[in-house]
Amino acid sequence: MNQGVLGRFGMDSKMAFGYLGVLLFMIGDGLEQGWLSSYLLDNGLTIQQSALLFSVYGLAAAIAAWLSGVLAEILGPRKAMTLGLGLFVLGTLVFLTIGIPTMNLAIMIPTYSLRGLGYPLFAYSFLVWLTYYAPSKKLGTAIGWFWVAFAGGLNVLGAYYSSFALPILGEMKTLWSALIFVFLGAIFAILLNKDDSINNKQFKTKADVFKYMATGITIAFKKPKVGLGGIVRTINTAGAYGFVVFLPAYMMDIGFTRMEWLQIYGALWSSNVIFNLIWGFIGDKLGWRSTIMWFGGVGCAIFTAALYYVPAVMGPNYMATLLAAICFGACVAAYVPLSALITSLAPDNKGAAMSVLNLGAGLSTFIGPVIVGIFIGSVGTVGVIWIYSGLYLLSAILTKFITLPQEQEKSQSTYFNTLKDASGSYK
Residue 315 confidence (pLDDT) = 95
Per-residue pLDDT for 322 more than 90? yes
pLDDT at 5: 56
Q: Which pLDDT does position 413 carry in this prediction? A: 47
Q: Does pLDDT of 219 surpass 60?
A: yes
Between CA 83 and CA 75 the distance in angstroms is 10
Q: Name the burial class of residue 104, with classes exposed (0-12), middle (13-18) and buried (19+) by CB atoms within 10 angstroms of its CB.
A: exposed
Helix axes 350-400, 224-254, angle to 10 degrees: 70
pLDDT, mean of residues 344-372: 82
- pLDDT for position 140: 74
> Span 67-90, mean pLDDT?
90
Does the pLDDT of residue 368 top 90, yes or no? Answer: no
Question: Is 74 or 390 the better-scoring residue by pLDDT?
Answer: 390
What CA–CA distance (Å, rounded) separates 397 from 283?
18
Kindly indicate the confidence band of residue 220, based on its pLDDT and cuts at 50, 70 and 90.
Answer: confident
Res 87 pLDDT > 90:
yes
Identify the residue with better confidence: 155 or 64. Answer: 64
Q: What integer pLDDT is reported at residue 118 of this predicted model? A: 94
* Higher-pLDDT residue of 184, 352: 184
* Least confident residue range of 47-51, 220-224, 404-408: 404-408
For the chain, which domains are there? 10-193 (1.20.1250.20), 218-416 (1.20.1250.20)
Nearest Cα to Cα of residue 195 among 70, 283, 81, 271: 81
- Residue 267: what pLDDT? 86
pLDDT of residue 225: 94
* Per-residue pLDDT at 400: 94
- Summarize the confidence of residues 318-322 as an average pLDDT: 97
Assess whether pLDDT exceeds 70 at residue 408: no
Determine the average pLDDT of the residues in 305-312.
97
pLDDT at position 195: 62
Q: Of all residues in the chain, what percent carry a pLDDT higher than 90?
A: 42
Lowest-confidence range among 196-200, 227-231, 258-262? 196-200
Residue pLDDT, tens place only, 103-149 = 999 999 999 999 989 999 999 899 888 877 777 777 777 888 888 89
Task: Give the pLDDT confidence score for residue 415 in this predicted structure.
Answer: 39
Q: What is the mean pLDDT of the chain?
A: 84
Separation CA 68–CA 358 (nearest Å): 8
Q: Note the pLDDT tens digit of each residue in 14-65.
A: 788 999 999 999 999 988 876 787 788 889 887 678 767 877 887 888 888 8
d(C-alpha 219, C-alpha 265), whole Å: 36
Task: Record the pTM.
Answer: 0.72
Pair 310, 320: CB distance under 8 Å? yes
At 311 the pLDDT is: 97
Q: What angle do CA 127, 67, 140 make, to 5 degrees?
A: 20
